[in-house]
Chain A
Amino acid sequence: MIEVGLKQIILALLLLSHELAVAKNAEFYITLEKNTFSPPRLHIPADKKVRIIITNLDNEPEEFDSFDLNREKVLFPGKKSVIYVGPLKPGIYEYFGEFHPNTAKGSIIVKLKESNNAD
């Protein structure tokens, strides 16, 4: 029983080290200022993993939350935060800021073809 457990853990660590050595993803940018995300609609390509870099220009923290994207992350004031999403199917994925849900909200629009990344 113990041998099986150790093998599983060693295998898991090998997988982890392999994963740490890979991946460079396309980058997209969102800014949070005056409790508002900009652009409010970000276009990203379907079926690709992307890095969304969110810069919080406000002087208070915000929490990015999206059930559609299955992501939840604190955005510290004056800092950049990275959220990895995808590969996603085409569609509209809503998100909001937990501390200012009425103003801090936006959507990620996933398209089959990469075009303008904001509107």
Chain B
Amino acid sequence: MFTPRYVFADGIVVDKVYHPYVIANEKEFEWRLMSSQTDTINRLAQQFGLGYSIAENVAMEFYIIGERNELGDFTASAFELEARWMLTEQGQYAFDWGAIFELERNTSVNSIEASAGLAVEKEFEKTSLTINWFLIYEQGSQIDSEFETEFRVKYRYRYIPEIQPAIELYSGEDYFGIGPAIMGVHRIEGQRQIKWEAGFITELSNKGKDHTLRLSVEYEF
């Protein structure tokens, strides 16, 4: 059986920096794309999600994840269930806190990945600093069973709703990358709005080329 040599379940750290907030009564569709290029490979993953706030401070999201394998075929390779829990009211304390729990089943490498993370955010007037810590456990027949940690940071300037430039940093699994990012939101009507994010992260810990482009679009309604 063909086994992808590089899979996103065990190798790419760049993803998304989570904010610790949940909006009640919110539903969303989400699409994410990650394209990572090194001297030897060009990885591509897309993720489609459907999310719903099940309580005033808890949101659930289900994802289907597709990856391109070394034969160039793009197939659904994983499913993920995610829960986000807003632990503190925004602005109540010096830092805003949230928790993230993820359970991912990767069918292409027959593995399971469970994650628990903390999201912390602090406002500095027109800027916001967001930090994520994740503790991840992976187990599967074709990957090493192991604990991993990941660390993500975003420093954002809230210029106007549509244009909010940021710097993002990702660390974990012997990876350390940093790069510019941008996010924005466009309100349509009522709770309907479109949010977008883009980032271009360059890996700094190795000598070779390793760039990751990440895009995401969310339609909230």
Looking across the interface, which residue of chain A has its beta carbon closest to that of B118? A12
Q: Which chain A residues numbered 38 to 78 have a C-beta less than 8 Å away from chain B?
A: 49, 61, 63, 65, 67, 70-74, 76
**Per-position contact with A for B112-131: 1 when CB-CB < 8 Å, else 0?**
00000010100101001000
Whether B125 lies near A89 (C-beta < 8 A) is yes
Whether B133 lies near A83 (C-beta < 8 A) is no
Whether B133 lies near A9 (C-beta < 8 A) is yes
Name the A residues within 8 Å of B190 (CB-CB): 63, 98-99
| B90 close to A (CB within 8 Å) | yes
A104 to B96 alpha-carbon distance, docked (Å)? 27
Looking across the interface, which residue of chain A has its beta carbon closest to that of B133? A8
Contacts A12-B120, A98-B191 hold; do A20 and B133 have CB atoms under 8 A apart? no
Distance in Å from the Cβ of B86 to the closest Cβ of chain A? 11
Q: Which chain B residues numbered 142 to 198 have a C-beta less than 8 Å away from chain A?
A: 147-149, 151, 158, 160-161, 187, 190-191
Dominant secondary structure at the A interface: mixed
A76 to B25 alpha-carbon distance, docked (Å)? 10
| A26 close to B (CB within 8 Å) | no
Looking across the interface, which residue of chain B has its beta carbon closest to that of A15? B95
B interface residue numbers (CB < 8 A to A): 21, 23-25, 56, 87-95, 97, 118, 120, 123, 125, 128, 133, 135, 147-149, 151, 158, 160-161, 187, 190-191
User: What are 8 A-B residue pairs whose CB atoms fall within 8 Å in the complex?
Assistant: A2-B135, A63-B23, A70-B123, A71-B91, A72-B23, A73-B24, A85-B91, A98-B191
Distance in Å from the Cβ of B186 to the closest Cβ of chain A? 12
Whether A19 lies near B149 (C-beta < 8 A) is no
Give the A-B contact count at a CB cut-off of 8 A.
77
Looking across the interface, which residue of chain B has its beta carbon closest to that of A82? B89
A83 to B161 alpha-carbon distance, docked (Å)? 20
Residue from A6, A12, A49, A61 within 8 A of B91 (CB atoms): A49
A22 to B94 alpha-carbon distance, docked (Å)? 10
Given known contacts A5-B149, A9-B118, A16-B95, what 5 new A-B pairs fall within 8 Å (CB)?
A19-B95, A71-B90, A73-B24, A74-B56, A86-B91
A82 to B90 alpha-carbon distance, docked (Å)? 10
Q: Which chain A residues numbered 2 to 31 have a C-beta less than 8 Å away from chain B?
A: 2, 4-6, 8-9, 12, 15-16, 19-20, 22-23
Whether B135 lies near A5 (C-beta < 8 A) is yes
Distance in Å from the Cβ of A25 to the closest Cβ of chain B? 8
Whether A84 lies near B92 (C-beta < 8 A) is yes
Distance in Å from the Cβ of A7 to the closest Cβ of chain B? 10
